[in-house]
Structure 1
């Protein structure tokens, strides 16, 4: 199985090139045009990403995340969520890398096989970085009015917060 992982990307590239050649697509020209468009997209969303990363760093450094997590502890308890998962619930919609760091901390403090660790892992896998995705995807196509996207994404995260402890309890207890 290890060997398959090593050769999967080269095999995929070869298959794409063979397919393009069979369809008489100028492979190198198509590749360079796609790379050029990717760079333009990257530069267009860069200000949004810098702002988002700065905000996340300030939130973590200021201690506001910990204060908010402590304030949410009663609500978390009422939902059946371990209070230790509050920083993860707050961080995941904003930053995937920040949420991964919080998840790692939760797993180190509580153990991966604990109820808290399992709930945190389910939350990390079933919630989305809504603000980041909206910034990247809508920013790349220059959409400024996101309409129902953010409320729907946050509602999905809320549902995950309700289901995660139930799923862990049902599967492991």
Structure 2
């Protein structure tokens, strides 16, 4: 089975290339055009990605996460969000890799079967890296005004966190 799964993608590529050649299409030229467009897209979104990465590093380096966690402690306590998960909720919309690191730390500290571990797992699965996603996808097509996308995405993440607290609270 492992051999089959490793050979599926090359097999699909060969089928596409073969089909294109049989139909008399310019497969190689189309591939080169697609590669050129992909490179141009990368160059277009690079400044946005660089700005996002710098902002994340500044956010982490200045210990702003701990300060914000202390400020939000009364609100998080009121809605039932454990203080240990607040940094994960704050970091996930900004940085997926930072959130994975924080999630791993939560699981290692509190365990996967604890309320905190299960809640962190549900939050990781139901929230999105909003700012990264908006930066990449909107930057790729040249959209400068994000209009209501940011607010809609933030509301979706807030809803996901609140529902996660409620559901995990019911289960545990």
Tell me the TM-score normalised to structure 1 length.
0.90
Secondary structure at the counterpart of residue 147 of structure 1: coil
Aligned residue number for residue 108 of structure 1: 108
Unaligned runs of 5+ residues in structure 2 are none
Aligned residue number for residue 75 of structure 1: 75
Question: CA separation of 1:89/1:22 partners in 2, compared to 1, >3 Å: closer, same or farther?
Answer: farther
- 1:23-172 residue pairs with structure 2 within 5 A? 23-170=23-170, 172=171
CA distance in 1, matches of 2:73, 2:12: 47
Residue 23 (structure 1) shift: 4.1
Decide whether the 8 Å contact of 1:79 with 1:161 is kept in 2. no
Question: CA separation of 1:3/1:114 partners in 2, compared to 1, >3 Å: closer, same or farther?
Answer: farther
With 11-20 and 84-93 compared, the bigger mean Cα shift is at 11-20
Question: CA separation of 1:12/1:169 partners in 2, compared to 1, >3 Å: closer, same or farther?
Answer: farther
CA distance in 2, matches of 1:83, 1:19: 57
CA distance in 2, matches of 1:146, 1:169: 35
Decide whether the 8 Å contact of 1:110 with 1:117 is kept in 2. yes
Question: CA separation of 1:56/1:34 partners in 2, compared to 1, >3 Å: closer, same or farther?
Answer: same
Superposition RMSD on alpha carbons, in Å? Answer: 1.7
Residue 8 (structure 1) shift: 3.2
Residue 98 (structure 1) shift: 1.3
- Equivalenced residue count is 172
CA distance in 2, matches of 1:112, 1:103: 10
CA distance in 1, matches of 2:16, 2:168: 41
CA distance in 2, matches of 1:85, 1:117: 9
CA distance in 1, matches of 2:158, 2:36: 39
Unaligned runs of 5+ residues in structure 1 are none
CA distance in 2, matches of 1:69, 1:2: 46
CA distance in 2, matches of 1:60, 1:78: 26
CA distance in 2, matches of 1:4, 1:77: 51
Question: CA separation of 1:56/1:26 partners in 2, compared to 1, >3 Å: closer, same or farther?
Answer: same
CA distance in 1, matches of 2:147, 2:83: 32
